[in-house]
């Protein structure tokens, strides 16, 4: 890599230069992750592991188990416990390694779906930039460190997005149904299928979710009865609603001290109404990526509890922004989500700065729901009514490197280069046109000492109301 290229911010043009850049970025990522305490000690996985072992080997009840030394236990529907039964056959270390490998495979699949067929253009260099960018993303770091299920659910849902976008919709809905049976939040994607008038897919998703729930009722009738009649309605099992990690609309109200259910209902209904309108527009334009991204955003907002690690559902939104020609916006928002900035208000979220700063991830989610571009289906999947044009130049193969080099250490533009192809809508239309002329186609921080160290709290909110923060193994998040 020549010094002149570095000064001008140009991407390296040789393999040697690219390798040097990747090594430099890897050092930055390593220093960043070593500086900010982020280890969650697989706490949520320990909850899952302890629950199924207590159930199978000790004759305990699923929802009675508590991690030793904490008041926290299993909070998912019974089908999740049934799916996790294989953990009772292996040791904890094996379960940790297996979970990590499954998470990485699910992440690779999710990125592949978001990027589309152009991922082959970037090769090892693009994969290296992707790894650096994603390693900085706080929701992803927490998901991996907690041993959470978020990535697996995201992959299941995006599998249906890929089927719908490709026209192979016979099995569409299976992934959504399974995800909804494991955890309730993805059930909103069934609502998306209804809004989009994909009746068959909606019926498949509903049937799969119902069948999985019925299977769990047969395997664990007592646990099923307890969950659907009592545990589901007990929010105290999940954690404190005002905990700074709760980046949902209800979390914002809880930190403000607003307990009115009427106010919450108005906000939730407004968010759902806006989502339904925009998602239907996206689906009508065959822009399934945007429709699914909008649904993930809305699920995070309207859920009573959305811990920081749940925000992996925002990843498809960045792909949509870049595909629509908004890489700088995507990079800036992504960078904020890499900073752990909300933890500056871990102890005190009062005042204007607390209102703005402690909820900054919620503001990002809300902003994406309101302004995320829709109606830009990926190349080769455009409605027949739209003509293509070859007036724009195709994207440069070096574009990912430009974004990646300019976004560190926050990882903003690296994510932009990775999660979606560069070049925007015009470039996609240009490429489509060459095939056929008519073809289808951060708030103000208070500088509190040790604020970042508070981020080692379980983002599951899940700490007790004790005055002193617990260690990273404080609670499994819902």
- Of residues 218 and 69, more confidence is placed in 218
Radius of gyration of the chain (CA): 22
Percentage of the chain surpassing pLDDT 70?
A: 75
- pTM value is 0.77
Percentage of the chain surpassing pLDDT 90?
A: 56
Most confident of 186-200, 384-398, 422-436: 186-200
Per-residue pLDDT averaged across 207-221, rounded? 96
**pLDDT digits 0-9 by tens, 310-321:** 999 999 999 999
pLDDT of 389 reads 38
- Of residues 395 and 262, more confidence is placed in 262
Average pLDDT, rounded, for the chain = 80
pLDDT of 87 reads 95
Confidence of residue 16 (pLDDT cuts 50, 70, 90): confident
pLDDT of 415 reads 40
pLDDT of 378 reads 63
Per-residue pLDDT averaged across 151-164, rounded? 95
Cα separation, 144 vs 142, in Å, equals 5
- Of residues 238 and 271, more confidence is placed in 271
pLDDT of 407 reads 39
pLDDT of residue 353 exceeding 90: yes
pLDDT of 119 reads 67
pLDDT of 231 reads 85
**pLDDT digits 0-9 by tens, 89-110:** 999 999 999 999 999 999 999 9
pLDDT of residue 267 exceeding 70: yes
Per-residue pLDDT averaged across 377-400, rounded? 44
Spell 173-200 as b/e; 16+ CB within 10 A means b: bbbbbbbbbbbbbbbbbbbbbbbbebee
CA atoms within 13 A on the CB side of 225: 5
- Of residues 379 and 204, more confidence is placed in 204
């Amino acid at each position: 890599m020549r010094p002149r290229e570095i000064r001008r911010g140009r991407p390296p043009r040789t393999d040697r230069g690219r390798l040097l850049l990747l090594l430099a970025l890897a050092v930055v990522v390593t220093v960043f992750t070593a500086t900010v305490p982020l280890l969650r000690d697989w706490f949520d996985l320990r909850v899952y592991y302890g629950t199924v072992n207590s159930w199978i080997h000790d004759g305990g009840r699923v929802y009675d188990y508590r991690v030793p030394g904490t008041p926290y236990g299993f909070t998912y529907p019974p089908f999740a416990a049934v799916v996790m039964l294989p953990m009772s056959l292996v040791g904890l270390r094996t379960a940790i390694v297996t979970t990590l490998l499954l998470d990485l495979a699910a992440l690779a699949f999710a990125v592949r779906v978001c990027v589309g067929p152009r991922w082959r253009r970037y090769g090892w260099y693009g994969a290296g930039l992707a790894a650096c960018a994603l390693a900085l993303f706080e929701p992803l770091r927490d998901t991996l460190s907690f041993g959470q299920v978020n990535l697996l659910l995201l992959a299941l849902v995006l599998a249906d997005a890929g089927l719908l976008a490709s026209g192979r919709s016979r099995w569409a809905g299976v992934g959504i149904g399974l995800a909804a049976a494991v955890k309730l939040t993805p059930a909103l994607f069934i609502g998306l299928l209804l809004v989009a008038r994909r009746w068959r897919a909606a019926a498949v998703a509903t049937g799969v979710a119902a069948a999985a729930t019925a299977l769990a009722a047969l395997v664990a009738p007592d646990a099923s009865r307890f969950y659907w009649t009592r545990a589901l309605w007990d929010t105290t099992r999940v954690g404190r609603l005002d905990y700074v990690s709760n980046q949902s609309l209800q979390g914002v109200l809880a930190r403000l001290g607003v307990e009115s259910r009427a106010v919450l209902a108005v906000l939730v209904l407004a968010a759902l109404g806006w989502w339904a309108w925009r998602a239907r527009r996206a689906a009508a334009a065959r822009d399934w990526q945007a429709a699914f991204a909008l649904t993930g955003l809305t699920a995070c907002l309207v859920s009573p509890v959305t811990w920081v690690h749940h925000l992996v559902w925002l990843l498809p939104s960045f792909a949509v922004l870049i595909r629509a020609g908004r890489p700088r916006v995507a990079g800036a928002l992504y960078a904020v989500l890499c900073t752990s900035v909300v933890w500056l208000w871990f102890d005190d979220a009062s005042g204007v700065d607390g209102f703005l700063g402690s909820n900054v991830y919620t503001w990002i989610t809300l902003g994406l729901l309101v302004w995320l571009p829709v109606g830009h289906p990926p190349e080769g999947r455009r409605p027949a009514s739209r003509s293509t044009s070859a007036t724009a130049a195709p994207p440069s193969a070096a574009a990912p490197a430009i974004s990646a080099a300019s976004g560190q250490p926050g990882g903003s533009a690296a994510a932009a280069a990775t999660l979606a192809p560069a070049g925007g809508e015009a470039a996609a239309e240009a490429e489509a046109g060459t095939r056929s002329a008519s073809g289808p186609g951060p708030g103000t921080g208070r500088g509190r000492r040790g604020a970042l160290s508070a981020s080692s709290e379980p983002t599951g909110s899940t700490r007790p109301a004790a005055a002193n923060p617990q260690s990273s193994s404080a609670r499994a998040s819902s």
